[in-house]
């Protein structure tokens, strides 16, 4: 900066007010910013469909009156997979999620216990799934479609009991 410019900035006009150059420098302080704003806003978080499916599956199973998840065929294959050494119980059985950037939609297939109100169970499943998914992921759940594929009767044997060896 030249000496004449510095002199102009430090000088006041005859009324005692600051010059335009002095006012500008007083209003706009020079700050050095690093990064790009708040740390929480730097970068992007993506959530896989499988993550939302697991959360929804566990939340749906917590509801009283839900006997199992998935269709009969999916449960049969799941029972076989559970018996294989190293195999694990699939918490996503009967759950399909479509995940966008800020919203998700879910389709659930459930088996209810005999004697429960299907409407009440479906309502409770929706409430529990929506609360869990929104709390854990921050995604807005736009819909939870529930298909009741079967009713578990009291005298029916479990899939696991049907495969016991007949010989002793």
* Contacts of 6 by beta carbon, 8 Å cutoff, 6+ apart: none
pTM above 0.75, yes or no: no
pLDDT band at residue 124 using 50, 70 and 90 as cut-offs: very high
Residue 90's pLDDT band, with cuts at 50, 70 and 90, is: confident
Query: pLDDT tens for residues 45-77?
Result: 899 999 999 999 999 999 999 999 997 654 455
Q: Which tokens in the block code for residue 165?
A: 């060896």
- Three-state secondary structure along the chain? CCHHHHHHHHCECCCCCECHHHHHHHHCCCCCCCCCCCHHHCCCCCCCHHHHHHHHHHHHHCCCCEEEECCHHHHHHHHHHHHCCCCCCCCCCCEEEEECCCEEEEEEEEEEECCCCHHHHHHHHHHHHHHHHHHHHCCEEEEEEEEEEEEECCCCCCHHHHCCCCCC
């Amino acid at each position: 900066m030249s000496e004449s410019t510095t002199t102009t900035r430090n000088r006041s006009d005859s009324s005692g007010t600051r010059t335009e150059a002095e006012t500008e420098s007083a209003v706009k302080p020079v700050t050095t910013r690093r990064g790009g704003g708040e740390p929480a806003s730097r970068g992007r978080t993506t959530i896989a469909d499988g993550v939302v499916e697991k959360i929804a599956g566990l939340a749906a199973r917590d509801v009283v009156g839900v006997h199992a998840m998935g269709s009969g065929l999916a449960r049969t294959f799941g029972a076989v997979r559970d018996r294989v050494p190293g195999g694990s119980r699939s918490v996503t059985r009967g759950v399909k999620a479509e995940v966008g950037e800020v919203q998700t939609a879910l389709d659930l297939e459930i088996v209810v216990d005999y004697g429960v109100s299907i409407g009440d169970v479906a309502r409770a499943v929706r409430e529990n799934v929506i609360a869990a998914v929104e709390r854990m992921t921050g995604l807005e759940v736009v819909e939870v479609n529930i298909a009741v594929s079967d009713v578990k009767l009291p005298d029916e044997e479990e899939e696991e009991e049907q495969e016991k060896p007949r010989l002793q």
